[in-house]
Amino acid sequence: MKNLAVLHAAQLVTLAGPARPRIGPEMNELGILLHGGLLVRDGVIVATGASDDIERTAPRDAEFVDAGERVVLPGFVDAHTHPVFAGDRVEEFEQRARGATYEEIAASGGGIRSTVRKTRAASEDELRQRALKHARWFLQCGTTTVEAKSGYGLSVEDELKMLRVVRDLNALTPLELVPTFLGAHAVPEEHAGSPARYVDLVINEMLPQVAAKNLAENCDIFCEQGYFNIEMSRSILNAAKARGLDLRLHADQLTNSGAAILAAELSARTADHLELTEDDGIAAMQRAKVQPVLLPGSVYALGKTRYPRARGMIGAGLAVVLATDFNPGSSPTPSIPMVLSLAATQMKMTPAEGVTAATINAAYSLRRGRKLGSLEAGKCANFAIFDCEDYREIACYFGIPQTHSVYVRGERVFPA
């Protein structure tokens, strides 16, 4: 039995509250304990309270962590990432700086397809080593759980390869990765003339193997003009649902294709992006309790100015989630603090709404709300200490994550 007591938090941001995602004004309620502390046994939180009380009641053999009047938060849960890939896309980054659009680059063989070529060519070990670097970045930014998508393989073998890498990473890094099958991320070059055949491949070859080998908890799809239309998306997602996978969608990013409404029709767990979703999509998601996963990093990185309508979604009672969309092309940031800055400055979310969206709401979107996303008795002792006195500084000062240290199940994982 190992006991750990965290003392002297200027703010212990607990997110304590009802055992469900937070909506509307609840998103501003962070359950902050001033001068707070935390007691952990065998990686699980057993108590939160005033630092003095925690110190007094801690077992004699407890190890003490002095938070030094800093801010303590639950580890961030990043509910939309693409952390496994080979190569980079700095050439395209420069092309965009020189004026090319994301769509133009994709049409000329760049974008997702460029990463697919490099990822197919890479060995599992190369992919693991590179992803381990990304895992260290996530931890350095205070993130302890990420949803991790495949989608740069786009063949049976390469999609399975990516999902095996995600599985293996869980043993190699303290970061928890939640696997999502995204075979329908793009139509690969060899099927460019016959997208329907590729949809068949996804449904009849990839999905059965992914499910049989238990390599994914979720199925995602890029429902977008030039990628997968509504009908194709519906077929793939229905097939995934039949195999017991939870559904997530890349929805309404580049055009308002009706994907948010499809997400509601299929009772998807999340619809992600939503830059162009209008009132009807928001209403449909509200009725079906689909959680929106907003990804302002990709709007920013693509030099666009239309951000998703976060205020409208919060106003409509949606349990909004924020995530990085970490990937080498359209959103090259692993930093939830950066996303909190974007949410506040570009989408007018309060810092508290941002924190709720990137912790407890994100945890529920991954079916981990009972275990992660808040600092409450019975939950995993995943937490991050930030070098500031007010949690709002994490969103205010941008470009430099103010992470002091990070713990997963009561063990310090950053600095390593």
Q: Is 99 in the site for a second copy (CB under 8 A)?
A: yes
The widest CA-to-CA distance across the chain, in whole angstroms, is: 70
Q: Is 64 in the site for a second copy (CB under 8 A)?
A: no
Could you give the CA distance from residue 353 to residue 7 in angstroms, rounded to a whole number? 26
Could you give the CA distance from residue 42 to residue 410 in angstroms, rounded to a whole number? 7
Q: Is 350 in the site for a second copy (CB under 8 A)?
A: yes
Q: Is 337 in the site for a second copy (CB under 8 A)?
A: yes
Q: Is 65 in the site for a second copy (CB under 8 A)?
A: no
Could you give the CA distance from residue 110 to residue 360 in angstroms, rounded to a whole number? 36
Give the C-alpha distances (Å, rounded to integers) separating 373 from 198, 209, 396. 37, 31, 21
* Contact letters for a second copy, residues 30-59 (x by CB under 8 A): ------------------------------
Q: Which helix (H) or strand (E) holds 249?
A: strand 246-251
Task: Give the residue carrying structure tokens 């607990």.
Answer: 14
Which range binds a second copy by CB under 8 A, 41-49, 95-103, 160-168, 199-207? 95-103
Could you give the CA distance from residue 211 to residue 270 in angstroms, rounded to a whole number? 20
Cβ 98 to a second copy shortest distance, Å: 6
Which range binds a second copy by CB under 8 A, 14-22, 93-101, 105-113, 197-205? 93-101
DSSP 84: -
Cβ 303 to a second copy shortest distance, Å: 5
Q: Under rule CB under 8 A, which residues in 118-147 are in contact with a second copy?
A: 137, 140-141
Number of residues that bind a second copy (CB under 8 A): 43
Q: Is 416 in the site for a second copy (CB under 8 A)?
A: no
Asked whether the bond before 415 is cis by omega within 30 degrees of 0, the reply is yes
Cβ distance to a second copy smaller for residue 106 or 388: 388
Using the Cα atoms of residue 170, residue 332, residue 359 and residue 186 in order, give the sign of their dihedral: negative
Q: Give the footprint of a second copy on this chain (CB under 8 A).
A: 88-90, 93-94, 96-99, 137, 140-141, 297, 300-303, 305, 332-335, 337-339, 341, 344-346, 348-351, 390, 392-393, 395-401
